[in-house]
């Protein structure tokens, strides 16, 4: 018998001066019967920080090592799904845009893709450990915690040297009609070699893979929101059904039918509410500014 799971989520818009660095800040409460857990899968996304007030989940990114029940969990940019098992909890999520990764993390994104971390044991994410004292509390006030988050990031780091280049790439990449890496490079004004270097450093993936991931996420988001059959939501730029199935398998590690047959007790409700409130169901489809 399926366990009844309820979520309550609030999204907070970062102020204009730091907005291009973040997808959103959100506070999520998951309500389940005591001792019960549910399993779900996060889709490919940008880097994230997640802070749990209690009962943190077990998680595994792209079938990699298990991140045990740690109160501060972080992930690099991903092109694969992340499995998690979670019970009743309160959590804050912070999604980094590529500009946010460059500004606040600063490491080569391509060296940290499809990886999960215990944030309190990772040198890479050590600058964000002080947020545990603000966010890993059961009785926190949403608005006060948000204001403390904003103040924390405003003081943490200055914009990176490549800021305008990162934004230019991200804005071009967002275009659903963009298909070819040659056009990608031409529209940014960079050579293909420079585009490859900047994408690897700040976005985590090659230009070609970024475009493929965008195409998949447009289809996957439409399916999660609209339901029905895959054929009604497949992105127009897939050559045919076989092409879509091959790409889905490459990114998600399973067939579209296998994914559709799975329950999505957290992600389905979260995406619907994110679309309703935020105007975008997933991070990867958020506009860069």
Taking residues 168-187, report their average pLDDT.
Answer: 95
| 195-206 average pLDDT score | 98
For the sheet containing 82-86, what is the strand order?
Answer: 38-42, 82-86, 58-61, 66-67
pLDDT for position 122: 96
* pLDDT at 143 exceeding the cut of 70: yes
Average pLDDT over residues 171-181: 93
> What distance in Å separates the CA atoms of residue 224 and residue 42, rounded to the nearest whole number?
12
Interval 83-89 mean pLDDT: 95
Predicted local confidence at residue 2, as pLDDT = 66
Task: Dump pLDDT digits (tens) for 121-142.
Answer: 999 999 999 999 999 999 999 9
For residue 278, name the pLDDT band (cuts at 50, 70, 90).
Answer: confident
Question: 202-238 pLDDT, tens per residue?
Answer: 999 999 999 999 999 999 999 988 877 888 888 888 8
More confident residue, 1 or 132: 132
pLDDT in tens, 87-122: 999 999 999 999 999 999 999 999 999 999 999 999
- Across the chain, what does the average pLDDT equal? 93
Q: What is the mean pLDDT of residues 24-29?
A: 94
pLDDT for res 240: 87
**Entry pTM:** 0.94
The pLDDT, as a whole number, for residue 52 is 98
Cβ distance 193 to 212 under 8 Å? no
Query: Which pLDDT does position 43 carry in this prediction?
Result: 94
Q: Which residue matches tokens 């409130």?
A: 277
Q: Which domains does the chain have, with CATH numbers?
A: 6-156 (2.60.120.10), 163-283 (1.10.10.60)
pLDDT digits (tens, 9 = 90+) for 28-72: 999 999 889 999 999 999 999 999 999 999 999 887 888 989 999
User: How many CA within 13 A on the CB side of residue 104?
Assistant: 27
Q: What is the DSSP string of 20-68?
A: GGEEEEEEEEEE--TT--EEEEEPS-S-EEEEESSSPPEEEETT--EE-
Report how far Cα 179 is from the mean position of its chain's Cα atoms. 22
**How high is the pLDDT of residue 1?**
54
Q: In what order do the strands lie in the sheet with 89-96?
A: 6-12, 22-31, 89-96, 48-52, 72-75, 116-118
The answer on pLDDT for 23 being more than 80 is: yes
Of 288, 271, 267, the residue nearest 279 (C-alpha): 271
The neighbouring-strand residues paired with 147 are none
């Amino acid at each position: 018998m399926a366990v009844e799971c309820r979520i309550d989520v609030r999204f907070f818009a970062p102020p204009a001066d730091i907005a291009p660095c973040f997808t959103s800040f959100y506070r999520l409460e998951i309500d389940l019967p005591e001792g019960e857990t549910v399993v779900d899968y996060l889709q490919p996304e940008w880097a994230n920080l997640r802070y749990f007030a209690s009962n943190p989940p077990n998680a595994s990114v792209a079938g990699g090592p298990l991140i045990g029940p740690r109160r501060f969990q972080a992930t690099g940019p991903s092109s694969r799904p992340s499995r998690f098992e979670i019970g009743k909890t309160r959590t804050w999520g912070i999604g980094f845009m590529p500009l946010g990764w460059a500004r606040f993390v600063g490491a080569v994104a391509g060296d940290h893709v499809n990886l999960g971390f215990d944030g309190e044991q990772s040198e890479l994410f050590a600058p964000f450990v002080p947020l545990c004292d603000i966010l890993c509390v059961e009785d926190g006030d949403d608005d006060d915690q948000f204001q403390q988050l904003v103040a924390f990031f405003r003081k943490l780091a200055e914009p990176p040297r490549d800021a305008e280049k990162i934004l230019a790439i991200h804005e071009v990449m967002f275009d659903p009609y963009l298909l070819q890496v040659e056009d990608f490079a031409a529209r940014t004004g960079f050579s293909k070699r420079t585009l490859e270097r900047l994408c690897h450093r700040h976005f985590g993936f090659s230009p070609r893979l970024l475009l493929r991931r965008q195409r998949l996420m447009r289809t996957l988001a439409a399916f999660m929101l609209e339901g029905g059959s895959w054929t009604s939501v497949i992105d127009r730029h897939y050559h045919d059904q076989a092409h879509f199935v091959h790409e889905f398998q490459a990114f998600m590690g399973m067939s579209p039918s296998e994914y559709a047959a799975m329950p999505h007790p957290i992600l389905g409700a979260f995406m619907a509410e994110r679309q309703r409130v935020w105007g975008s169901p997933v991070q990867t489809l958020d506009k860069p500014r």
